[in-house]
Amino acid sequence: MYSYNLFRSTKPDGLVCAVPEERSVPSFVVEPHWQFGGRIESQDAPLGFDRKAAMEGVRFNGFYLFASFQKDRPGH
């Protein structure tokens, strides 16, 4: 099981690029369009992250793109 570094799009599209720690970050992940969004381990995946799809994405591309679905916080 991989540990992933997450890079979030700064646009309102909700895209997240998950890159296994031992892999290189894709060349399209650059500021100001992307920002580091943390690290996830085996249990703490964000809503929208699919482990099986991530494994396939990494196998073919070296990274996994997904749409993050975050619950609205009260007052926002």
Query: So what's the pLDDT on residue 1?
Result: 64
Q: Is the pLDDT of residue 20 over 60?
A: yes
10-19, 27-36, 45-54, 57-66: least confident range: 45-54
Separation between Cα atoms, residue 38 and residue 26, nearest integer Å = 16
Nearest C-alpha neighbor of 18 from the set 56, 60, 49? 49
The structural domains of the chain, with segments of one domain joined by +, span 4-67
The confidence band for 74, taking pLDDT boundaries of 50, 70 and 90, is very low
Residue appearing with tokens 């892999």: 23
Q: Express each pLDDT in 38-73 by its tens digit.
A: 999 867 788 889 989 999 999 999 999 999 876 543
Q: Is the pTM of this model over 0.95?
A: no
- The tokens for 7 are 């890079």
